[in-house]
């Protein structure tokens, strides 16, 4: 990688513990591709990271990536590491940037974590009226659809601080459980806290993941040919196809950050893809559901458009528009 013989490759990302683990993971992958390649992590505390309230009131999850993308466009970093679920799906990438690679998807399931010392091992063991903590509208709606008796309370902050609040080490949260993404806990080495995995099908004891859940996206400047070529070697075609289907669904629904939208694509061993999409009312009382499967030769984005059309036919637009952006 002679292009970077005189300086390290600058890897941009957020400053949270989880984000740092993600950028370090990418740096290790790059080092395996190009032995001797030096990397430098450029960590940024974004406006969304510092905001204590609901993200919808600030402008949504897109703020997690906006500041880092601006650094990338100014040439202050050479590539950006994003959680794909945080990259807005209803608008194009910033001018001059390209999605050079998506890494193989991590486990996209949501999980239940309970306070230290709790005997609860599944959602079914939670008593009537139990309190669960999550700030995700998507999780809230699906949890309430299965258990209307639950009280769902918001919680923000890094995963470590959320766990400390749950265990009582920090004030500010009294809950019987916390719903988180397994992928994040895995990246932090905290999977031992998991007591239950929710299925991804969205039936009974399940929670359909967010669009792009478990996927790390690597962006760079479109005219930076050496970096574009390097990152392309990390691209996972299967995950890119699944993400393309999911993001076409999200783009067609035109949902904002506060919309209770879920979408998850899976691939069978023979290459056949199945996309499941759901749109809920925030209280889980109403929802529309659609799914479609197509062979490996089919356009993944067309699969997303197909599922989107069926959701809209069932009334998804009304449900989405009934929720204010914040």
Is residue 240 within 8 Å of residue 220, measured between CB atoms? no
pLDDT at 6: 76
CA-derived radius of gyration, the chain: 20
Residues 6+ apart with CB under 8 A from 8: 38, 39, 40
Please determine whether the domains at 110-197 and 245-321 fall in the same fold group of CATH.
no
Q: Which CATH class is domain 110-197?
A: alpha beta
The residues near 1 (Cβ < 8 Å, ≥ 6 apart) are: 9, 34, 36, 37, 226, 230
Write the DSSP string, 98-123: EEEEEPPP----EEEE--TT----SG
Q: Is 276 helix (H, G, I), strand (E, B) or coil?
A: strand
Catalytic residue numbers read 86
Query: What CATH fold (topology level) applies to the domain 2-104+215-235?
Result: D-Maltodextrin-Binding Protein; domain 2 (3.40.190)
Q: How far is CA 286 from the centre of its chain?
A: 24
Superfamily per CATH, domain 245-321: Porphobilinogen deaminase, C-terminal domain (3.30.160.40)
The full set of domain ranges for the chain reads 2-104+215-235, 110-197, 245-321
Tens-binned pLDDT, residue by residue, of the chain (326 aa): 456 667 899 999 999 999 999 999 999 999 999 988 999 999 998 665 554 555 444 444 557 788 999 999 999 999 999 999 999 887 889 999 999 999 999 999 999 999 999 999 999 999 999 999 998 989 999 999 899 999 999 998 889 889 999 998 666 688 999 999 999 999 999 999 999 999 998 666 799 999 999 999 999 999 999 999 999 999 999 999 999 999 999 999 987 666 789 999 999 999 999 999 999 988 888 999 999 999 999 999 999 999 999 999 999 999 988 876 54
Beta strands in the chain (DSSP E): 9-14, 39-44, 79-83, 97-102, 110-113, 131-133, 151-153, 177-181, 194-197, 216-221, 261-267, 273-280, 287-294
């Amino acid at each position: 990688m002679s292009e970077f013989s005189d300086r390290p490759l600058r890897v941009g990302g957020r400053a949270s513990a989880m984000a740092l683990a993600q950028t370090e993971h990418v740096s290790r992958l790059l080092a395996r591709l190009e032995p001797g390649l030096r990397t430098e992590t450029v960590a940024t505390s974004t406006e969304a990271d510092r905001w204590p309230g609901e993200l919808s009131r600030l402008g949504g999850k897109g703020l997690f990536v906006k500041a880092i993308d601006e650094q990338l466009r100014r040439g202050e970093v050479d590539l950006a590491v994003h959680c794909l679920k945080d990259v807005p799906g209803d608008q194009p990438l910033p001018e001059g940037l390209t999605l050079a690679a998506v890494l193989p998807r991590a486990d996209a399931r949501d999980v239940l974590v309970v306070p230290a010392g709790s005997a609860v091992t599944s959602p079914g063991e939670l008593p009537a009226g139990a309190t669960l903590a999550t700030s995700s509208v998507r999780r809230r709606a699906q949890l309430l659809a299965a258990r209307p008796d639950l009280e769902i309370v918001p919680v923000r902050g890094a995963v470590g601080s959320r766990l400390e609040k749950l265990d009582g080490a920090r004030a500010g949260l009294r809950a019987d459980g916390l719903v988180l993404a397994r992928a994040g806990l895995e990246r932090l080495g905290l999977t031992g806290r998991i007591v239950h995995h929710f299925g991804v099908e969205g039936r009974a004891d399940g929670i359909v993941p967010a669009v792009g859940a478990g996927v790390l996206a690597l962006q760079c400047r479109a005219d930076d040919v050496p970096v574009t070529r390097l990152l392309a070697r990390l691209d996972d075609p299967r995950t890119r196809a699944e993400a393309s289907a999911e993001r076409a669904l999200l783009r067609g629904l035109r949902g904002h950050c506060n919309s209770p939208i879920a979408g998850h694509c899976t691939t069978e061993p023979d290459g056949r893809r199945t996309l499941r999409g759901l749109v809920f009312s925030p209280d889980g009382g109403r929802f529309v559901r659609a799914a479609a499967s197509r062979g490996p030769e089919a356009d993944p984005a067309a699969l997303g458009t197909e599922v989107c059309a069926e959701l809209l036919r069932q009334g998804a637009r009304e449900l989405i528009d009934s929720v204010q952006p914040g």
